[in-house]
Amino acid sequence: MNRVEERNGTGGLRERERERCMFGNEEVKMEWFIEGPTPKAKLNWFLYEVALEYHAHIMHSKALSQYRKTQNEAKIAEFCAYFAKRMKKSVLERLAGLTDATEIDEEYISNYYPKNSRKMNGLLLEAACLAWDKLLSGCENCPTRCLSEKEQYCTLFDTYTS
């Protein structure tokens, strides 16, 4: 299990890169995140962004080139959505102050891919941690405030619906 500390980094994507990364992805479906008692809540948008960032890291990682050969992009996108949704409990526990860090657990990967090698799971876990850090570095400047207003309605679902 990895524990990822939220940090106030100064990194982040340039706006054009962020737009391309976050909304130019045809494989990770926004609709997969419109669910639950408050379907268009900001927390669901945040989880969608987690999946998008994770997908981008997997698709560009040299270390995961073998993984990409065994999975088509649609299957990778489905995995990233599953992974992001599995993180929801850990995110909520962190926001509630029940833990001092968000946990990104290898179990999320091994449950989805039970036949994966430990090495492959480690590479996917590393990509998840990098994606998490990169996403959070952009959150500090984002006006949407997905985490602090997690139950509020998120108009971005409406803005980017095709």
Question: What tokens were used for 42?
Answer: 């900001």
pLDDT tens string 22-31: 555 689 999 9
pLDDT tens string 79-112: 999 999 999 999 999 999 999 999 999 999 999 9
Contacts (Cβ under 8 Å, ≥6 apart) of 83: 50, 51, 54, 108, 109, 112, 128
Residue 143 domain-assigned?
yes
Nearest to 29 by CA among 94, 88, 78: 78
Domain boundaries, position 155: 9-159
Please state the domain count of the chain.
Answer: 1
Residue 136 domain-assigned?
yes
Residue 29 domain-assigned?
yes
pTM of the model: 0.83
Residue 61 domain-assigned?
yes
Residue 2 domain-assigned?
no
The stretches of 12-87 forming alpha helices (DSSP H) are 15-23, 42-60, 65-70, 73-86
